[in-house]
């Protein structure tokens, strides 16, 4: 009778439980409290290591919110597969990262969303680990041209010498025309003085005519006339010249030196003629500015 009861108890054990010996079944029948399920339930399962539940489908936040080293690893795997060329900074939401992920997803038949699920990330890393290491073939590497040497910066003294040299070359080219213009002016000034206040010089330079008349009124006579080029160059209406002209004037036994700056535009007759006191530098510079003089002399 007892054996029949044991067999009945075995028949009552739910399907799928772990196999038990007849002795264990008998102990559960005699003392139900000793069984883990209480009242003859299934025997306890052996302890196993906890497993992580798989991420739900479409879980793109886990990888995005992972630690920075994990996010960097994604970029490194993409680079190993020639999908990503950007910086390894862990930013999986950058345009370069999203484009690389989308391209990789396209090649594997995944939805091209530019973000990875945990499963896709594992697949990516596994694929990158199998990728061969690429070595550079020196024979196929173009030789970079040598970097040109940057000339040393000039010292202030050397820079000044270089500027003076350029100025000398420019003045040398302009000097013949400037000297010819000045000598032509002096010729007309001397003719005006010889004619006692008559001639083209007075007509072209009204201020000079007044200056001559003022000196004549106080009994001064004009002696030597010596020019010196002040400036020369192209202006808006032609070649322009400014020249300092020193006049030796005599009154009785006294000799005076006076200076006028003559400024004009070369033409026949001269245009925009001005005679300005050498002391009035501002007026001379204003005339040059008004004529848009581009100096070839200074």
Summarize pLDDT for 99-128 with one digit per residue, the tens. Answer: 999 999 999 999 999 999 999 999 999 998
Q: Is the pLDDT of residue 266 over 70?
A: yes
Residue 27 lies in a domain: yes
Q: Is the pLDDT of residue 23 over 80?
A: no
DSSP 31: -
Q: Is the pLDDT of residue 260 over 70?
A: yes
Per the CB < 8 A criterion, the answer to whether 189 and 196 are in contact is no
Taken in order 87, 89, 95, 99, the sign of the CA dihedral is: positive
Q: How many domains does the chain have?
A: 3
Who's near 4: CB < 8 A, 6+ residues apart? none
- Whether residues 109 and 209 fall in one domain: no
Domain C-terminal end among 130, 151, 180: 130
Q: Label residue 17 by pLDDT band (50, 70, 90).
A: very low
Q: Label residue 163 by pLDDT band (50, 70, 90).
A: confident
- Whether residues 30 and 70 fall in one domain: no
Residue 40 lies in a domain: no
Q: Is the pLDDT of residue 24 over 70?
A: no
- Whether residues 205 and 87 fall in one domain: no
Q: Which CA distances in Å does 20 have to 16, 34, 40, 217?
A: 12, 14, 12, 148
Q: Are strands 271-277 and 294-295 parallel, antiparallel or unpaired?
A: unpaired
- Whether residues 174 and 263 fall in one domain: yes
Of 67, 70, 60, the residue nearest 114 (C-alpha): 60
- Whether residues 231 and 172 fall in one domain: yes
pLDDT digits (tens, 9 = 90+) for 50-93: 444 454 567 999 998 999 999 999 999 999 999 999 999 999 99
For 25, the domain range is 2-34
Q: Is the pLDDT of residue 144 over 50?
A: yes
Q: What is the pLDDT of residue 170?
A: 84
Window from 128-142, 186-200, 208-222 with minimum mean pLDDT? 128-142
Q: Label residue 16 by pLDDT band (50, 70, 90).
A: very low
* Higher pLDDT, residue 151 or 192: 192
Residue 235 lies in a domain: yes
Answering whether pTM is above 0.75, one says: no
Residue 47 lies in a domain: no
DSSP 229: E
Residue 138 lies in a domain: no
Q: Is the pLDDT of residue 36 over 90?
A: no
- Whether residues 180 and 241 fall in one domain: yes
Residue 145 lies in a domain: no
Domain C-terminal end among 107, 130, 153: 130
- Whether residues 230 and 118 fall in one domain: no
CATH number at residue 67: 1.10.101
Q: Which CA distances in Å does 249 have to 2, 230, 275, 290?
A: 160, 22, 17, 32
Who's near 248: CB < 8 A, 6+ residues apart? 222, 223, 224, 225, 255, 256, 257
- Whether residues 117 and 197 fall in one domain: no
Residue 45 lies in a domain: no
Q: Is the pLDDT of residue 184 over 80?
A: yes
- Whether residues 275 and 174 fall in one domain: yes
Tokens 């000793």 locate to: 34
Per cent of the chain over pLDDT 90 is 58
CATH number at residue 243: 3.10.450
- Whether residues 25 and 90 fall in one domain: no
* Higher pLDDT, residue 186 or 153: 186
Long-range contacts of 11-17 (CB under 8 A, 24+ apart): 12/40, 13/40, 13/42, 14/41, 14/42, 16/42, 17/42, 17/43
- Whether residues 287 and 211 fall in one domain: yes
Residue 93 lies in a domain: yes
Q: Is the pLDDT of residue 226 over 70?
A: yes
Q: What is the pLDDT of residue 298?
A: 84
Q: Is the pLDDT of residue 43 over 50?
A: no
- Whether residues 277 and 179 fall in one domain: yes
Mean of pLDDT over the chain: 82
pLDDT (average), residues 12-30: 48
Burial grade of 19 (CB within 10 A; 0-12, 13-18, 19 or more): exposed
């Amino acid at each position: 009778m007892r054996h029949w009861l044991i067999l009945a108890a075995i028949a009552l054990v739910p399907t799928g439980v772990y196999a038990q010996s007849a002795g264990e079944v008998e102990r559960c029948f005699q003392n139900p409290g000793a069984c883990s399920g209480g009242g003859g339930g299934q025997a306890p399962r052996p302890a196993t290591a906890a497993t992580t539940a798989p991420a739900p489908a479409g879980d793109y936040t886990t990888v995005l919110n992972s630690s920075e080293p994990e996010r960097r690893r994604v970029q490194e795997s993409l680079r190993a597969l020639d999908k990503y060329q950007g910086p390894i900074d862990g930013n999986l939401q950058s345009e370069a990262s999203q484009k690389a992920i989308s391209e990789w997803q396209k090649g594997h038949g995944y939805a091209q969303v530019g973000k990875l699920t945990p499963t896709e990330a594992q697949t990516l890393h596994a694929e990158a680990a199998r990728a061969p290491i690429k070595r550079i073939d020196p024979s196929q590497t173009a030789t970079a041209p040598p970097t040109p040497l940057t000339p040393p910066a000039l010292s202030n003294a050397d820079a000044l010498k270089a500027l003076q040299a350029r100025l000398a070359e420019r003045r040398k080219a302009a000097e013949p025309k400037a000297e010819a213009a000045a000598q032509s002016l002096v010729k007309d000034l001397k003719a005006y003085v010889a004619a006692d206040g008559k001639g083209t010089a007075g007509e072209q330079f009204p201020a000079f005519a007044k200056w001559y008349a003022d000196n004549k009124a106080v009994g001064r006579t004009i002696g030597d006339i010596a020019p010196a080029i002040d400036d020369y160059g192209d202006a808006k209406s032609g070649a322009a010249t400014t020249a300092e002209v020193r006049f030796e004037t005599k009154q009785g036994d006294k000799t005076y030196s006076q200076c006028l700056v003559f400024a004009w535009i070369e033409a026949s007759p001269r245009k925009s003629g001005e005679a300005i006191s050498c002391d009035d530098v501002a007026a001379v510079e204003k005339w040059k500015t008004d004529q848009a003089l581009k100096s070839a002399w200074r």
